[in-house]
Amino acid sequence: MASGFFALLDDIAVLMDDIAVMSKVAAKKTAGILGDDLAVNAEKASGFISSRELPVLWAITKGSFLNKVIILPIAFLLSAFLPLAVIIILVLGGLYLAYEGAEKIYEYFFPHEHAKSDVSLEPLTEEQILAFEKEKIKSAIVTDFILSVEIIIIALGTVVGKPISSQIIVVTIIAIIATVGVYGIVALIVRMDEAGLKLISMSTKERSFSKTIGNILVQALPKVIKSLSVIGTIALLLVAGGIFVHEIDFLHGVLPQLPPIVTEFIVGLAIGLLVLGIVNLVKKIIGKK
């Protein structure tokens, strides 16, 4: 009986070792998309007043966890019984990401007229602030859902052929890391200025190490947020382009003379602009009717 118990412990140790190795491989495979996820969500979680940053970020984080709870069982079932559906979902998600990235670029060069004329110097009302927060939270959760699908599917691809229990454990670990890690770093970014002000207040000297670091953090935050907006847009197009290039047969090997990252950006932008044009055309037709 004792030998059977120790054999069971040995089997568990081997299983955990296998899971650790598989999780490491899956983490490496998803590292790129996690970086894109970070850039996109940091940009989405910025732009709120200081007292509302953490509540808004927590709302997005809860939405992200809910996304994973929805996606994980569906991904396991589709992977087992209907793998073609996984590819279709990935491509549809890529179309949305490409559209969102292309729209941001289009808005930068051709801003809406009302965006120029509706600028008001009056402070926003509480209702307007809550409406703005709700819209950004909704947008962030939708984008997170699509990126989460990509992360989970990539992680799932690294454990294909393994026992279903190992697949569930490994992919769930990656999903948790994707949420806790990404939004933990996002929280640190959006609170840089608060940390800087805290360091400044810690010293009464005109020149001190804490004040120097504090001033750097305070001055760096607007630049970081602005750069993340650009990086997030590029990330959307890269993720979308990567989906198209890898999942659509006739796009395999397109522009072979260019580095893969450049090819993915061009493909993502081209398809994003195409989808944007179709969406705008449909809006005009509906508007006329």
**pLDDT of 128 higher than 80:** no
User: 141 near 62, Cβ under 8 Å?
Assistant: no
The answer to whether residue 89 scores a pLDDT higher than 90 is no
pLDDT band at 29 (very low <50, low <70, confident <90, very high): low
pLDDT at 8: 41
pLDDT at position 20 is 62
Q: Which amino acid is at 256?
A: P
Between 224 and 234, residue with greater pLDDT: 234
Task: Report the pLDDT value the prediction gives residue 1, as an integer from 0 to 100.
Answer: 47
Residue 117 has a pLDDT of 45
User: 198-218 pLDDT, tens per residue?
Assistant: 888 887 777 778 888 888 888
Residue 269 confidence (pLDDT)? 95
pLDDT at 45: 67
Half-sphere exposure of 192 (CA within 13 A, CB side): 18
Q: What is the mean pLDDT of residues 77-95?
A: 81
Which of 49-58, 117-126, 181-190, 235-244 bottoms out in mean pLDDT, i.e. has the lowest? 117-126
Q: Is a pLDDT exceeding 90 seen at residue 16?
A: no
The predicted pLDDT at position 265 comes to 93
Give the mean pLDDT of 130-142: 84
Is the pLDDT score of 279 beyond 80? yes
pLDDT-based confidence at residue 10 (cuts at 50, 70, 90) = very low
Please give the single-letter amino acid code of residue 105. I
Q: How many CA atoms lie within 13 A of 112 on its CB side?
A: 7
Mean pLDDT of the residues in the chain:
77
